[in-house]
């Protein structure tokens, strides 16, 4: 029998544990998609907690059997990706009538991969964004995240290459999806 994924809103006290999870997830689950050097540069400059999501109460912690299993969130702000160390976009609020909510900073513990953690986080984020009036979602997917998001109905909008401060070129795919929920 599969374990139940439990979600709760992240707090500032969670950040140290989430930072460790994000680094471990990026190092292990990026293998075959990014080189070791690309993954390490991404951890330094891109992959991390965005405290604004925690403060906005739109970032979630997932657990399986009482163990930290993942994190992820959504945003009503115009930042598309990046953690506190280098957010990409502006902190201005989006207009739900015309803008897509941002799906942000999804990471799963390697031991919890393919156990429904990412799906549970995405379902919660989608429902919360919908309750806030958004009718579509957008995100910047890492290469290992592309198959996951595609399987859940997101479509690729454009390939993106971000030049990180150390000169590393990191590939992403911008993806989007309409929120198909009854009003």
Q: What pLDDT digit, counting tens, does each position of 69-126 carry?
A: 999 999 999 998 888 888 788 889 999 999 999 999 999 999 999 999 999 999 999 9
Instruction: Supply the pTM of this predicted model.
Output: 0.94
Tell whether domain 5-137 is in CATH 3.40.630.30. Answer: yes
Q: What pLDDT digit, counting tens, does each position of 8-63 carry?
A: 999 999 999 999 999 999 999 999 999 999 999 999 999 999 999 999 999 999 99
Got the DSSP string for the chain?
Answer: -PPPEEEEE--GGGHHHHHHHHHHHHHHHTBTTB-HHHHHHHHHHT-S--HHHHHTT-EEEEEETTEEEEEEEEESEEEEE--TTS-EEEEEEP-TTTSPEEEEEEEE-GGGTTTTHHHHHHHHHHHHHHHTT--EEEEEEEGGGHHHHHHTT-EEEEEEEEE-TTS-EEEEEEEEEE-----
């Amino acid at each position: 029998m599969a374990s139940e994924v439990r979600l709760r809103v992240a707090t500032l006290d969670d950040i140290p544990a989430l930072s460790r999870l994000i680094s471990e997830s990026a190092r292990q689950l990026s293998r075959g998609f990014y080189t070791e050097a690309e993954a390490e540069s991404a951890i330094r400059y891109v992959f991390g907690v965005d405290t604004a999501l925690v403060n906005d109460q739109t970032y979630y912690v997932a657990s399986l059997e009482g163990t930290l299993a993942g994190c992820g969130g959504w945003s009503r702000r115009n930042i598309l990706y990046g953690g506190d160390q280098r957010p990409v976009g502006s902190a201005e609020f989006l207009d739900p009538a015309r803008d897509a909510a941002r799906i942000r900073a999804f990471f799963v513990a390697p031991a919890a991969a393919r156990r429904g953690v990412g799906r549970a986080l995405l379902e919660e984020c989608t429902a919360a964004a919908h309750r806030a009036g958004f009718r579509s979602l957008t995100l910047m997917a890492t290469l290992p995240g592309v198959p996951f998001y595609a399987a859940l109905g997101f479509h690729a909008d454009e390939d993106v290459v971000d030049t990180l401060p150390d000169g590393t070129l990191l590939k992403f795919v911008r993806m989007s999806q309409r929120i198909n929920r009854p009003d």
